[in-house]
């Protein structure tokens, strides 16, 4: 039997997840309960996933055992007090509320709720996400496995300790934007060298996709792959030398560190 899953919030992430779960056969559309404060959004996602919308938080909790908390973090303060009265021991709460510690969710729901916290990233929208999951105080190893299985339907999913989620946020959570920024710069570089924008954009995106696929499918790590395409005195070596001169590696490390520090700050405010 598939999971009976309820979504609280029917935005971008909920949409990606609902489709992923159904496509992977982890849940039947009919077993999904979808609730959004905007009824039109519940209806829209429910129709797309072959599910029935739920009319309230309470109905969602009644119809499902696994509850995905999929509102924006700033809406959690209004949502969780509504969840509290209907929460039962049979519920597993999966939170994708960025930067919100499990402890804050547990406290607001009250009792000893089983909470697994997830940091997904936007490529989950095309089933190429990278998610890291951590369990709260009362979630079991089986709960973590359930959540891992669900998130593997939209990409890869790994288990980490909750204190590592700030590092995850700074790396893979914010990571898509770093790659987009690198792509923007490469496109500008291509244009400056004489390509039209459309051609430079197409070549850049395909190169990023190809490099990612090659890195994923190869037994070699990124460093070995880079060395393989860098012949001495060649064009790639010249390009990489310019990056090194500009302090590329140190800059990227600072970028991740800054995002991690910001994630910690936001987590303190939310906790
Ligand atoms: N998008 C990403 O790539 C990404 C990555 C990592 C983590 N996350 C996390 O995933 C969560 C969802 O993100 P998203 O991009 O899917 O957000 P979103 O598109 O804004 O979806 C959230 C939905 O929840 C609705 N909502 C607000 N308050 C509600 C309430 N009290 N009860 C029920 N529904 C309510 C919102 O309605 P209104 O629009 O009317 O407010 C909206 O439709 C966030 O916590 C975010 O931090 C997202």
Please tell me the number of Cα atoms within 13 Å of 42 on its side-chain side.
21
Query: What pLDDT score does 271 carry?
Result: 67
Ligand 1 mean position, distance from CA 11 (Å): 5
Same domain? For 231 and 102 the reply is no
Domain boundary among the residues 143, 166, 189 is at 166
Ligand 1 mean position, distance from CA 208 (Å): 28
Give the model confidence (pLDDT) of 18-70 as tens digits.
999 999 999 999 999 999 999 999 999 999 999 999 999 999 999 999 999 99
Give the model confidence (pLDDT) of 239-268 as tens digits.
999 999 999 999 999 999 999 999 998 888
Query: What is this structure's pTM?
Result: 0.92
Strand partners, 6: 33, 67
Domain boundary among the residues 122, 142, 166 is at 166
Give the model confidence (pLDDT) of 121-168 as tens digits.
999 989 999 999 999 999 999 999 999 999 999 999 999 999 999 999
5: which 2 tokens?
């899953």
Q: Which domain holds residue 251?
A: 175-267
Looking up residue 127, the CATH number of its domain turns out to be 3.40.50.720
Same domain? For 47 and 119 the reply is yes
73 lines ligand 1 (CB under 6 A): yes
Does residue 79 contact residue 69 with C-beta atoms inside 8 Å? yes
Query: What pLDDT score does 183 carry?
Result: 98
CB atoms within 10 A of CB 232: 5
Domain boundary among the residues 166, 200, 232 is at 166
Query: What pLDDT score does 4 carry?
Result: 95
The rounded distance, in Å, linking the Cα atoms of 68 and 129 is 17
Same domain? For 208 and 237 the reply is yes
Same domain? For 136 and 181 the reply is no
86 lines ligand 1 (CB under 6 A): no
Same domain? For 151 and 197 the reply is no
41 lines ligand 1 (CB under 6 A): yes
The rounded distance, in Å, linking the Cα atoms of 183 and 128 is 18
Ligand 1 mean position, distance from CA 254 (Å): 29
The pLDDT-based confidence of 1 (bands split at 50, 70, 90) is low
Same domain? For 203 and 146 the reply is no
Ligand 1 mean position, distance from CA 180 (Å): 22
Same domain? For 90 and 61 the reply is yes
């Amino acid at each position: 039997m598939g999971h009976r899953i309820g979504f609280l919030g029917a935005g971008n992430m909920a949409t990606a997840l609902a489709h992923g779960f159904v496509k992977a056969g982890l849940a039947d559309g009919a077993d999904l309960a979808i609730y959004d404060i905007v009824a039109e959004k519940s209806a829209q996602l429910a129709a797309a996933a072959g599910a029935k919308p739920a009319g309230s938080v309470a109905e969602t909790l009644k119809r499902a055992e696994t509850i995905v908390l999929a509102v924006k973090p700033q809406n959690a303060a209004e949502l969780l007090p509504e969840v509290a009265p209907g929460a039962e021991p049979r519920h597993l709460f999966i939170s994708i509320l960025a930067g919100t510690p499990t402890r804050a969710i547990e406290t607001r729901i009250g009792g000893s709720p089983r909470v697994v916290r997830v940091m997904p990233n936007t490529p989950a929208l095309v089933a190429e996400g990278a998610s890291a999951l951590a369990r709260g105080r009362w979630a079991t190893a089986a709960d973590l496995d359930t959540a891992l299985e669900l998130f593997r339907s939209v990409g890869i999913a790994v288990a980490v300790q909750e204190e590592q989620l700030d590092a995850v946020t700074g790396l893979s959570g914010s990571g898509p934007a770093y790659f987009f920024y690198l792509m923007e710069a490469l496109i500008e570089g291509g244009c400056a060298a004489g390509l039209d924008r459309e051609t430079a954009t197409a070549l850049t995106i395909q190169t990023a996709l190809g490099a990612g696929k090659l890195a994923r499918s190869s037994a070699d790590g990124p460093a070995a792959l880079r060395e393989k395409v860098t012949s001495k005195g060649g064009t790639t070596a010249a390009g990489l030398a310019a990056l090194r001169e500009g302090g590329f590696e140190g800059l990227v490390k600072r970028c991740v560190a800054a995002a991690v520090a910001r994630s910690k700050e936001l987590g303190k405010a939310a906790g």
